[in-house]
Amino acid sequence: MSNQPLVIENLTFKYRTRPELALENISLELKQGELLLIAGSSGCGKTTLARCINGLIPRSYRGERTGKVLLHGTEVSEMPIPEMAQIVGTLLQDPERQIVASNVFNEIAFGPENLGLPREEINQRVDQALKRLNLEYLRERETFNLSGGEKQKVALAGVLTMNPSILLLDEPLASLDPASAHEALEVFRSLADEGKTVVLVEHRVEDAIEAKPDRLLYMEEGRIKYLGPIDNLPKEIDHTKVKLPAPWVVQRVKSLEIPAPPPPKPTVEESREPLVVFEDVDFQYDEEYPFILKDVNLKIYPGDLIAVLGPNGAGKSTLVKHAIGLLKPTKGRVLIEGQDTRKISVAQIARTLGYVFQSPTHMLYAPTVQEELEFGPNNLGYDPALIPTFVKESVSTVNLNGLEEYPPLGLSFGQQKRTTIAAVLAMRSKILVMDEPTAGQDFANYTRFMNALCDTSDNEQSILTANFAATLFITHDLDLAVTYANRVLLFGDKHIVADGDPKDVLKDVDLLLKYRVRPTSLLRLNLDLLPRTGQFLPAESLASYAP
């Protein structure tokens, strides 16, 4: 019997609650020091495979499992949990589900404390993890006040202090700004080079390739479609299902001769009255804390599709929470359709602004998806006869058909995220505000709902033209800004450092890098082809312009 770190033989699994197989006949071996990238669209079985490796199946998720999963030669289902936790360290997709302590030091020390290690060694391990991830500055901070990206890094530090031989990382880049994602990938590669076995589950294949994975496992419908090296694009991989480097997509589209008309982006009409105005806004949570916003001036107009870019912890979410009235300025004022947010309730603002939180667990509570989506429109006093239509359209736009009776908190992270977007769509607010809308989403799903939300043609399917006067999304995915925005805000140093047409803001590579936004292959290709295209386009559309 092989004593490799991980051996999987003929693994098949079916959840008790679902009729279809989640995994079918999976076999693979991982060597010490190998970095494996697992990719595929939502529901293809990536997370289920991860749960089989870390023993959550069969312990926490019930169903029928056949085949073997061996960790260093021992069947995972027969290992005691403490022993297994020291072999496999898991980083979950949503850091909210992983963080248990109130401050950063205690959070990172939690694992080694549970192993009963001496205090001196615990301190040493925490210091090493903080240093490795450049997190020393967070050491004394409260976990509650961290940004989503900072929480993700702290959760990773907590995994590293356990010193596992196998690292299982489920969408570790989802909440990270591009520079932090790049740094994290370098850490994953160096951990593999030091002898750890690293399993990286990631939708963002283009980014993940930077970690120089030894092999790629590409899954569809619970089966292995491709397992091998990733020097270029294997023909088995569907470029519409996972996010790949733009030049690969262009070559694939050219070889398949797929026609792709360029989507027109609307121009902003500044002559109209602004919907939202920030006037000289400063904000700090308390006098003891430093300012998070300083001298912020901003106007949002009808027709705006705004991408907000900037580093983790810069204050992007704080900015948006002022627009929805959850936070009030320390100085200055925010006007929503001419009214000061200090003088109107959050419920009144919700008619104008619908907000999708970064973490779905901050929003979801109802027993079923259907009831979750009915709650907002009911609360806003819409005609009960119209609400079923609102819900049906929202479900269809974000591809949740068939899940209406499921409990939202029982869904995958990506499905939960889409449920929160649908909940806000159903409220028919004038402005849609989304915090990291594509986190945990596969490429096919996010392309579908972003196309529906940002389609400004007179298309029958277009939700935006029917309901939203403007859309604003905070994102670390630069390609969203390239593909969908007609205006980009770059946020950093507590204020807006650039605001304008994507072609103007995103050509300043030095400025982007200063604020931890790394140019992608899609941006570079668009800048190269701009003299011919005259506008930014998705990779498929660039195929007809590329030499």
Reported as a single tens digit per residue, the pLDDT across 212-254 is 999 999 999 999 999 999 877 788 898 888 888 999 999 998 8
Q: Which residue has the higher pLDDT, 384 or 2?
A: 384
Sorted by where each begins, the domain ranges of the chain are 6-244, 276-503
Is 248 in contact with 242 (CB distance < 8 Å)? no
Amino acid letter, residue 247: P
Q: Which two tokens stand for residue 473?
A: 């999304």
Residue 49's region, left for phi above 0, alpha for psi from -120 to 50, else beta, is: alpha
Q: Write out pLDDT tens, residues 25-45.
A: 999 999 999 999 999 988 889
Torsion of CA 425, 431, 436, 442, to 10 degrees: 40
- Looking at per-residue pLDDT, the higher value among 46 and 1 belongs to 46
Of 69, 21, 17, give the one whose Cα is nearest residue 44. Answer: 21
pLDDT for 460 beyond 80: no
pTM of the model: 0.84
E-assigned strand segments in 412-483: 431-435, 470-474
113-136, pLDDT tens digit by residue?
A: 988 999 999 999 999 999 999 899
Can 6-244 and 276-503 be said to share one CATH topology?
A: yes
Residue 23's closest CA among 50, 4, 1? 50
Domain 276-503 has CATH 1.20.140.10: no
Nearest-angstrom CA–CA distance, 252 and 155 = 37
CATH number of 6-244: 3.40.50.300
**Torsion angle of the four alpha carbons 20, 23, 25, 28, in this order, in degrees rounded to the nearest 10:** 170
> Which residues are registered as beta bridge partners of 104?
none
pLDDT category at 448 given cuts 50, 70, 90 is: confident
pLDDT exceeds cutoff 60 at 107: yes
How far is CA 442 from each of CA 238, 465, 470, rounded to the nearest angstrom?
Answer: 12, 25, 24
